[in-house]
Structure 1
């Protein structure tokens, strides 16, 4: 028989929390990518890796926070640990491919399109791999047209996110972009969930044994949540990210590249080439005479 699906078991709590996590991961990923463009080349891979991990963890935590509100009335739902962890690795790894591609090659149309497609497919794979981790007394089915729509939304969202990562510099602009990314990623998730139907095995009205999803998901979410908080601390207190943007704003305001502070005289190069000697006492006395 067809199962009764409820995707909002806790009302607006899980969708709002999931959206905020998607925004947090996107904001940290954007700021880390901006930081990779400001610093030396030796630090670039580290900042890009931190940005990719932040975006991937944000997407993954968004998915499973939203899944806490998912239930099938006729049967319990729980999750396979191995497949759930694998979905996290896929999220971080595939997002990393896209972030590194645009981080090193820039927002060229070809690079951006290829990286957006790869990253979008990876986000969709993470979503459906996370769905494959569900264990219930029934069979999960998908509507092909809605699945295709969710994959399209994922590709568009990923392409927009990668473009923003290498184009948008200011804090407020990055914040606005992260809010839009949160809408896109959450929209992809709930579009994919709209494709789901469950055929429950007949069990004479008995509920299938299994742990509730929160007993597994809450401990597993703790690690990525702590990582995102630590990444946020690193980004917030990085001096070059703050000073680099302030220097860039001052340069744009005066219409010239940044140089010595205003009011500081330029050094005399001719005088700098010859050593300076203090006047001797004998020379001063001869001039007075």
Structure 2
């Protein structure tokens, strides 16, 4: 018991040190966003702003088109998550509960595409979208995501195999349920925790995406929030105005924090179920 107690104390100290190491940059970002420009590089560093001010938040909102960046990012997130998760759920249900020719080969082929780095397809995609005259629009960031995501399909397939018994599907067929009705009334509600978890992860991934919008979006009014923040120092608020840049970064982090806060229960539940039964 003494050995177990010492191990628990050591584990707690390691986790505490790791949590402090990871949360310190976030705390410093919030602290810097509430300082005056002349106090940013005070020595020794001050974690609590003195004097305390929130003018950076109002000034950065007025100096740059943050609202446009928010709206563009929200449009991409809403469309891609709504349609892409539905397509991924349908694909996962088909691969998990249907029997059809070459099922295993097709699924392995889809998983194999995960090994292709984005840098390989980046230039061909740009050429294709430029010929469609989609450059400097949101379409290159929306359309590919409408066809689902391989990682989401794999996760949902594993989840269904552990949480949706085949006997339940056979019972529904005996009762006269069609395949679409089984999906909408049985499979989809069962996938709710997994879908919520993947929606939270997908939201964070799309919201924080920088490379894609940087490649395709050139007009400031069409840029997403992350590219807009990166261009602030040169275009809107001047050099080295770190408090306003940090204020913009905090504003951009708020939706991600809220989404993760409200979806963390589903995230943990889906991981627990898939880990035990998958």
Larger Rg: 1
Q: TM-score, normalised by structure 1?
A: 0.24
Query: RCO greater where, 1 or 2, for CA within 8 Å and sep 6 or more?
Result: 2
Q: TM-score, normalised by structure 2?
A: 0.24
User: Which structure features the higher share of helix residues?
Assistant: 2
User: Which structure features the higher share of strand residues?
Assistant: 1
